[in-house]
Structures are given as C-alpha cells and as structure tokens.
Amino acid sequence: MRHLYSCPLRWSDMDAFGHVNNVVFIRYLEEARIDFMWRLAPGEGSASFSGGSVVARHEIDYVRPLVHRHAPVTVESWVTKIGAASMTIAYEIKDEDTVYVRASTVVVPYDFAQQRPRRITAEEKSFLREYLDDGAGNDAKQQEGAVAA
C-alpha cells in the first residue's frame, strides 16, 4: 500500500528561475512523512510515533524541474525497510504524467526525555508493514507469507 499526500505549490517555493527550489522539496517530504506517521495515532488513543523522531539521512534524485502552477503535486510514500530502531521511507513527488523527485529518508524514533533513539514498537511495526515495499516486488502481504513459511 502507498500513502498519498497532496501538496500545494506556493509562490514562495520558487527560485529565481521559476522552479521549485531544491530545499523546498525536503519540506514537501517532511509534510508527507508527518501526515503518514500520524495516521496511526489519531483517534485511536495510540502513543505511537508521538514521542518524536529524527531524520538520520535524506537521499534525493531531482528528475525534472517543477515549475509553478495552480494544481498541487502528489507525494507518494511507502516503507522500504523496517529495522529495530529505524525505518526507511521512499517517496515520489509527481503528478499524473511526470515524476519530479525520487527520494528516501531514514527515520529514527527518538525519546526526547531520555535524549536517545528508541526501538520501534510492535504496534508501529505492524502499521509500517502495511506500507512495506522493498522494491523487489515484495509488498507487505508477500513479506508476511515469507515470515509465516
């Protein structure tokens, strides 16, 4: 499964050439990632992901320039790796016809009271597995079947 987030383009996002500034794409990724991670907690009484997280790494490939327009772009995201204390989220920033950016982020759940990383809980892993796609055609259902075998 993939998470979709609609991101409006703002004039302030543009550089001198009328393209979305490269730094702004990181903000788009952040907005989509926060929207994705908070889907587990609201209304369920879950404390998952609410303690905070930190970004350990960003990797971004700028595929095509994105110029200002009134239509928003879509940030599609999914999980490519779940570790004991980190996860990797992949993204494409695109519209129906064009991919503008491909990116990934390594996210570490963080206990700010203790000032250290923490392990991913069983509840969080269960949520993340619903969005797992490792790029080799292995989605969450295939992963679960492999574990059960």
DSSP assignment of 13-45 equals GB-TTSBBPHHHHHHHHHHHHHHHHTTSSTTTT
| Exposure on the CB side of residue 73, measured as CA atoms within 13 A | 27
101 with 62: CB under 8 angstroms? yes
Q: Which two tokens stand for residue 126?
A: 């269960």
Q: Beta-carbon neighbour count of residue 100 at 10 Å?
A: 20
Q: What is the pLDDT of residue 132?
A: 96
Rounded to whole angstroms, the Cα distance separating 128 from 79 reads 7
Crossing angle, helix 122-129 and helix 140-148, to 10 degrees? 120
Q: How far is CA 78 from CA 3, 74, 144, in A?
A: 6, 13, 16
Q: What is the pLDDT of residue 41?
A: 55
Rounded to whole angstroms, the Cα distance separating 11 from 9 reads 7
Residues of the chain with pLDDT under 50: 42, 140-149
Q: What is the pLDDT of residue 31?
A: 94
Q: What is the pLDDT of residue 136?
A: 57
